Amino acid sequence: MKIIGIEIIPVRLPLTEPFVISYGTFPDVESALVRIETDSGHTGWGEATPDPHVTGETFGGVVETLKVIAPALLGRDPHDRTAAMRAVDARCGGAPTAKAALDIALHDVLGRITGLPVWALLGGRARDHLTISRVVSMKAPDAMAADAMRHVAAGFRTVKLKVGDFNNPRQDVQRVAAVREALGPETRIKIDVNQGWRTSGVAIAAARAMAAYEPEYIEQPVDWRDLEGLADVRRACGLPIMADEALHDARDALRAVQLRACDLINIKLMKSGGLLGALALNAIAETAGIVCQVGTMVESSIASAAGLHLALALDNVHTVEMGGPLMLAEDIGPLRNHYNRDRVTVPSGPGLGFEPDEAVIARFAGQRTWIRA
């Protein structure tokens, strides 16, 4: 059995409303879809959803990178996932988001070949279901409070607040205060700064001011390059610290462990190069006693399902934020139907568990590229 073709499909999917975080506003989701074909007639789907502020990859760059690295899979047996991804790595250094699409597609097609869901390929199921939180875009304090109340009314018990105003961190504190006042003490609140406070000094002051509102943690308060600064914030602010943009792969995780830079790690397939890289990162974290979250770049059902399969398989994953399908006005898969309040069930079929909607893909697709043996 071997891979005989790979299709690359760039798509732009509309969001229900613009997504606002500290470094930008995103009106839609730009993804490069990948479809793998085998000589047995099995297919597998993957997705690359880039964010240049996180991995340095752009939408157009990911599409072009895939044209360079995808041919490394031609003629390979999908059962040999590790060897296949090493061949991909040999074509190009870096580019974790582009590589994630191929890694996800390999797992999907192997699941379809074997009749197993992806979580089974990753070692088995650690739990029966997953609970997620909803993200609140960075807005004025009252608007964020209203959005948070809407999510809680829909059945979500945890909300994640996007903040990160370097020039006015006091308003970030006001944002958190407004949400806490609106929701009361029962709802869990998480804070995501997306590097917005930049320096440890600003971050420590802002985090200390937020402590009274009892957030579960502060995520990535400083610039991604400043792991030492992240460690300083962790020591000084009195709140748990989650690393996101600062950690991509197992090497980054090892350095964070050595510096004692964080209490939690946000694993994202688009940072780790896919599921295999995520497993390696989690192994470092778990050995060091650091719990993990599986997060999202606001991906469609394809990459979101892959993240959910990962979270289902890893006992060390304590929180999940795979809410991309809930933020899309139109999706290319059925995952939205698997959410019930703040619970989500993982599709049960082979591979990722579903067939993407080709009619929706066709409506939002750009120029397609086929790579054949």
In a domain, 350, yes or no: no
* From 245, 268, 271, 342, the catalytic residue: 268
In a domain, 167, yes or no: yes
Who contacts 173 (Cβ-Cβ below 8 Å, separation ≥6)? Answer: 206, 209, 210
* From 192, 223, 299, 321, the catalytic residue: 192
| Structure token digits, residue 188 | 């869990």
* From 7, 57, 108, 244, the catalytic residue: 244
**How far is 122 from 313, CA to CA, in rounded Å?**
6
Is 162 among the residues known to form the active site? yes
Do 138 and 165 sit in the same domain of this protein? yes
Q: What is the CATH number of the domain that holds 86?
A: 3.30.390.10
In a domain, 17, yes or no: yes
Is 268 among the residues known to form the active site? yes
Handedness of CA 235, 239, 244, 247 (dihedral sign): positive
Do 92 and 191 sit in the same domain of this protein? no
**How far is 319 from 251, CA to CA, in rounded Å?**
22
Domain residues for the domain of 223 are 121-344
Place of tokens 């409506």: 363
Is 219 among the residues known to form the active site? yes
* From 7, 30, 37, 219, the catalytic residue: 219
**How far is 19 from 135, CA to CA, in rounded Å?**
9
Is 37 among the residues known to form the active site? no
Do 21 and 132 sit in the same domain of this protein? no
Do 363 and 215 sit in the same domain of this protein? no
| Structure token digits, residue 148 | 């948070």
Q: How confident is the model at residue 129 (pLDDT cuts 50, 70, 90)?
A: confident
In a domain, 363, yes or no: yes
Per-residue pLDDT, 119:
98
Query: Quick check: pTM over 0.75?
Result: yes
Is 192 among the residues known to form the active site? yes
Summarised one tens digit per residue, pLDDT across range 305-322 is: 999 999 999 999 999 999
Summarised one tens digit per residue, pLDDT across range 61-118 is: 999 999 999 999 999 999 999 999 999 999 999 999 999 999 999 999 999 999 999 9
Instruction: Kindly write down the DSSP assignment for every residue of 71-131, as one continuous string.
Output: GGGTT--TT-HHHHHHHHHHH-SS-HHHHHHHHHHHHHHHHHHHT-BHHHHTT--S-S-EE
Summarised one tens digit per residue, pLDDT across range 243-298 is: 999 999 999 999 999 999 999 999 999 999 999 999 999 999 999 999 999 999 99
**How far is 9 from 47, CA to CA, in rounded Å?**
9
* From 162, 190, 232, 321, the catalytic residue: 162
